[in-house]
Amino acid sequence: MKKIIFLIGVILLFPISAMCSPFLTSDCTPAVDKVTGFQLQFGVQPVIDIPAVECVPVVVDGKRIWYDLGTLPNGPFTVKALARNLWGSSAYTAPLSDTKVLPSSPGLLRITP
């Protein structure tokens, strides 16, 4: 019985732990744009093609960016994006700059009564 409860707990908690990374997201594109994907460019790195993700709740075929930033190295980064459809690509967005940093160590440890 304890094993079953443990397995149920692991199954329920796994999706939560899989979605813990920070994500780059965007507003939903209008349905009339028929967006099929996006291109991201981090600084001067090569362009990354990513699929468009359905908006939730569904906004009549609207699409958005959903990209996991957990794979980026620590430090500052700049990213810009463009949307793609059957006919071509949009212009790039304005660049977004941020810094990925690890937290500092906690201060002095002590035991208090």
In a domain, 67, yes or no: yes
pLDDT band at 17 (very low <50, low <70, confident <90, very high): very low
Instruction: Give yes or no for a contact between 3 and 51, defined as CB atoms under 8 angstroms apart.
Output: no
CATH number for the domain that contains residue 72: 2.60.40
In a domain, 6, yes or no: no
What CA–CA distances, in Å, run from 108 to 102, 103, 104?
A: 18, 15, 12
How far apart, in whole angstroms, are the C-alpha atoms of residue 47 and residue 79? 10
- Domain, as residue range, for 54: 17-93
pLDDT in tens, 20-64: 679 999 988 888 888 999 999 999 999 999 999 988 776 566 899
In a domain, 3, yes or no: no
In a domain, 11, yes or no: no
Instruction: Give yes or no for a contact between 42 and 78, defined as CB atoms under 8 angstroms apart.
Output: yes
With 90 as the cut, is the pLDDT of residue 65 above it? yes
With 90 as the cut, is the pLDDT of residue 87 above it? yes
In a domain, 58, yes or no: yes
Q: What is the pLDDT of residue 102?
A: 86
Say how many domains are in the chain.
1
